[in-house]
Amino acid sequence: MNRKVLLVDDDVNLLESFRRQLHKKAELVTAEGPKAGIEAAARQGPFAVVISDYNMPVMNGVDMLRVIRHGSPDTVRVLLTGHADLEIAIQAVNESNIFRLLTKPCPPEIMDKVLADAFRHFDLVTAERELLEQTLRGSVSVLCDLISLVKPEVFGRVSRILPYLRGISRRLDDPRPWETETAAMLSVVGLITLPDSLIHKVEKGKPLTEAEQQQFLGHPAFGARLVGRIPRMDRVAEILAYQEKHYEGGGMPPDTTAGEAIPLGARILKAVLDFDILLANGMTKAEALIKLERRKGVYDPRTLAALNEVVGEHARYAMQKVHLHSLVPGMVLAEDLVGQRGSETLMLLAKGRELNATVIEFILDNSRTIRISQPVAVLLPVAAG
């Protein structure tokens, strides 16, 4: 359990007093002033609780706690203030969702109780978030597994783009990487309604008629509406809605949103989806990257720079050929997995699909009734250095 507490004040004597009082009740870190407090939160966090004085030079305690909250939203924030600042501080607390407001000097028994309450609140908040994320993650995983088995050619693009998307997300310090990845996994939901012939033309980079173009550009909004009905998935739905939006403001949806106002997840998704289509159209990775760079105003420049780095990193993969019973989670299909049933050829999984336990079980179950050529070509990451 996280019992780390950050104490911030510009009064060194007060910090030492709190340290003597609380050192047996928590893992304490002290910071002299708001700048040191923000740095400590970034480098030594996450903290369960941050206790800060209100009246400090350069930046007051409320503004500092607001900065810390941006990077660590689960951290419980407690504010200390003198009587002269009380009215201002109360107004600030009401606007900034601070857990408790204490006046100085604060009796030890009051501080002890507030700290215990803050720990309980932190435990409840983190437990609820973890349960929600695990529940949603499990539900999304089941849905995606079903899509990948029913429409392997559609879901194949998700498996191919995820490694790039994860790498870009890390490099850009994505504050909500889970939501970005979830949006990527659900980005094909809207494609399910499109004719297979249209999906094939898009995947192969073939020109579309005006009617087909409008039909295709409608899929993000459709997927966003479906996902938006799921509780707590509003930000994921927003990413889906903007996955075809251009960085300079063009594309879909046809609104004035542009640049950094476009959700970061959508900017990443737009780049990796278009990159994948170019690869499927026969371009090398280097050629595809150059093509994206030449489309001025379409992509976030930082996203393209990160994609360049990730592509170089992903070159460190080795291909192996293994038999079906040697497949393990984490392997990536290096070629389409097809089966033969009589004279009928069946597409089971698309190239680029990352394998998990459910997918491997699906392959093995089908191998009992469908002839699958073995060995299977898969990709495995090569350990650095």
pLDDT in tens, 210-223: 888 888 888 888 88
Q: Which residue has the higher pLDDT, 178 or 154?
A: 178
Angle at 73 between CA 100 and CA 7, to 5 degrees: 50
* Overall average pLDDT of the 291-297 stretch: 92
Distance CA 205, CA 216 (A): 13
Q: Is residue 139 part of a domain?
A: no
Residue recorded with tokens 């291909």:
319
> Are residues 222 and 189 part of one domain?
yes
Q: Is residue 141 part of a domain?
A: no
**What radius of gyration do the chain's Cα atoms show?**
26
> CATH number, domain at 225?
1.10.3210.10
> Are residues 278 and 257 part of one domain?
yes
* Overall average pLDDT of the 143-172 stretch: 79
Please say if the pLDDT value at position 145 is more than 80: no
Task: Tell which of 74, 91, 126 closes a domain.
Answer: 126
pLDDT for 138: 73
pLDDT for 241: 93
Question: For residue 284, what are the domain limits?
Answer: 151-314
Q: What is the DSSP letter of 246?
A: -
* Overall average pLDDT of the 172-194 stretch: 84
What domain count does the chain have?
A: 3
Q: Is residue 144 part of a domain?
A: no
On whether the CB atoms of residues 244 and 191 are closer than 8 A, the answer is no
Distance CA 271, CA 169 (A): 12
Tens of pLDDT, residue by residue over 229-238, are: 877 788 999 9
Q: Is residue 246 part of a domain?
A: yes
Please say if the pLDDT value at position 383 is more than 70: no
Lowest average pLDDT, out of 57-66, 239-248, 309-318, 369-378, goes to 309-318
pLDDT for 316: 60
Tens of pLDDT, residue by residue over 70-113, are: 888 889 999 988 876 777 777 777 767 788 888 888 888 899 99
Residue recorded with tokens 């299909």:
333
On whether the CB atoms of residues 355 and 380 are closer than 8 A, the answer is no
> Are residues 350 and 244 part of one domain?
no
> Are residues 106 and 181 part of one domain?
no
* Average confidence score pLDDT of the chain: 85
Task: Tell which of 264, 297, 314 closes a domain.
Answer: 314
Tell me if residue 30 falls in helix, strand or coil: strand
Task: Tell which of 59, 93, 126 closes a domain.
Answer: 126
Q: How many helices (H) and strands (E) does the chain have?
A: 15, 11
> CATH number, domain at 28?
3.40.50.2300
Tell me if residue 337 falls in helix, strand or coil: strand
Tell me if residue 261 falls in helix, strand or coil: helix
The DSSP H or E segment spanning 378 is strand 376-381
pLDDT for 384: 44
Q: Is residue 137 part of a domain?
A: no
Tens of pLDDT, residue by residue over 338-350, are: 888 888 888 888 7
> Are residues 369 and 297 part of one domain?
no
> Are residues 220 and 95 part of one domain?
no
> Are residues 228 and 200 part of one domain?
yes
> Are residues 382 and 333 part of one domain?
yes
> Are residues 279 and 160 part of one domain?
yes
pLDDT band at 168 (very low <50, low <70, confident <90, very high): very high
Distance CA 54, CA 19 (A): 18
| Residue among 370, 384, 360, 184 nearest 266 (CA) | 184
Q: What percent of the chain has pLDDT over 70?
A: 94
Q: Is residue 173 part of a domain?
A: yes
> Are residues 257 and 347 part of one domain?
no
At 381, which amino acid appears? P
* Overall average pLDDT of the 278-295 stretch: 88
pLDDT for 247: 95
Q: Is residue 134 part of a domain?
A: no
Tens of pLDDT, residue by residue over 32-70, are: 999 999 999 988 988 999 999 988 988 988 889 988 888
pTM for the model stands at 0.57
Q: Is residue 281 part of a domain?
A: yes
Q: How far is CA 187 from CA 107, 158, 239, in A?
A: 54, 8, 9
> Are residues 320 and 306 part of one domain?
no
Q: Which residue has the higher pLDDT, 267 or 228?
A: 267
> Are residues 334 and 255 part of one domain?
no
Strands laid side by side in the 49-53 sheet: 27-32, 4-9, 49-53, 76-81, 100-103
